[in-house]
Amino acid sequence: MTEPFDLEAWITGARAPERSCTVYGRGDLVAEAERLAAEIAEADRSRDPERMNSGAAPALRKRLDEVRAEFEGSALEFRFRAPTRDEIRKAQEEIGEESDDEAFTFALMSLQAVLPKPSPQQWPAIRDRIGTGQFQLLIDTANGAYGDQRLDIPFSRATSGRTRV
């Protein structure tokens, strides 16, 4: 005889969805990397033996590697979780009736942040430093933790469409 399903145990073990994304503090290096890559491509296309043997291409490749390493070194992963209804109400109460949508967004993102945990006052500085494109990624990730209805893990049976017996 099978044991009855223990719903209380399942509820106790359940956790809110979480999402993560990576943003970069040195987005300014993208233009430098693009410039170097173009120069390397031009040097590679050149059939001028003097240019090919001048050492310019290896020096450019070395500099591109340095730029990539610096860019990758500026990566920061943000992790967000779905807030509870009580937490959403608390965020609304904390900012008050007179506050704007941006203040509520920052308060809610601070509640959702697992790591790192910026304060509501730090979000505007983060946005201004990393740019609106990357900041939108943070907002979308936080919203995804809160609002995604379908939860998939890559390579799971749910996402692969295959079932196992």
Instruction: Give the lowest-confidence range in 61-70, 102-111, 151-160.
Output: 151-160
What pLDDT is recorded for position 90?
85
Write the pLDDT tens digit of every residue in 21-66: 999 999 999 999 999 999 998 888 876 666 555 677 889 999 999 9
Q: Which residue has the higher pLDDT, 21 or 95?
A: 21
Map out the domains of the chain as residue ranges: 18-147
Residues 6+ apart with CB under 8 A from 164: 157
List the one residue out of 143, 142, 21 whose CA is nearest residue 77: 21
pLDDT band of 151, cuts 50, 70, 90:
confident
Please tell us whether the domain made up of 18-147 is placed in CATH 1.10.3470.
no
List the one residue out of 140, 111, 135, 112 whose CA is nearest residue 123: 135
Q: How many residues does the chain have?
A: 165
What pLDDT is recorded for position 145?
93
Whole-prediction pTM value? 0.80
Mean pLDDT of 75-90: 93
Instruction: Give the lowest-confidence range in 40-49, 97-106, 138-147.
Output: 40-49
**CA 98, CA 157: separation in Å to the nearest integer?**
47
Class of residue 36 by CB neighbours under 10 A (exposed 0-12, middle 13-18, buried 19+): buried
**CA 33, CA 129: separation in Å to the nearest integer?**
19
Alpha helices in the chain (DSSP H): 7-13, 29-45, 49-52, 56-73, 85-95, 101-112, 123-130, 132-147, 157-160
List the one residue out of 90, 76, 64 whose CA is nearest residue 134: 76
Average predicted confidence (pLDDT) for the chain:
87
